[in-house]
Amino acid sequence: MKIGVLSLQGNFDEHINRLSSFNVETIKVKNKSSLLECDGLIIPGGESTTMSKMLDFNNLRDTIVELKDRINIMGVCAGMILLSNTTNYHNLETLNIMDFKVERNGWGRQIFSFNQTIETSLSKDKFTGTFIRAPKVVSYSKSLKCLSEIKSTPILLSDGRHIGCAFHLEYSNDNSIYEYFLKLIRN
Grade residue 90 by pLDDT with cuts at 50, 70 and 90. confident
Q: Which pLDDT score is estimated for 71? A: 97
Q: Which pLDDT score is estimated for 16? A: 96
Q: What is the mean pLDDT of residues 113-140?
A: 96
Grade residue 54 by pLDDT with cuts at 50, 70 and 90. very high
**DSSP letter at 168?**
B
Question: 41-45, 76-80, 106-110, 181-185: which has the minimum mean pLDDT?
Answer: 106-110
Architecture of the domain defined by 2-186:
3-Layer(aba) Sandwich (3.40)
pTM: 0.96
Delimit the domains of the chain by residue range: 2-186
CA 68 to chain centre: 13
Burial bucket for residue 88 (CB in 10 Å: 0-12, 13-18, 19+) = exposed
Q: Which pLDDT score is estimated for 149? A: 97
Contacts of 64 (CB under 8 A, 6+ apart): 35, 41, 55, 73, 95, 97
88 pLDDT more than 90: no
Q: Angle 150-166-3 (CA atoms, 0-180°, nearest 5)?
A: 135
Yes or no: say if 72 and 159 are a contact pair by the CB < 8 Å rule. no
24 pLDDT more than 90: yes
* Residues with active-site annotation: 77, 168, 170
Q: What is the mean pLDDT of residues 50-70?
A: 97
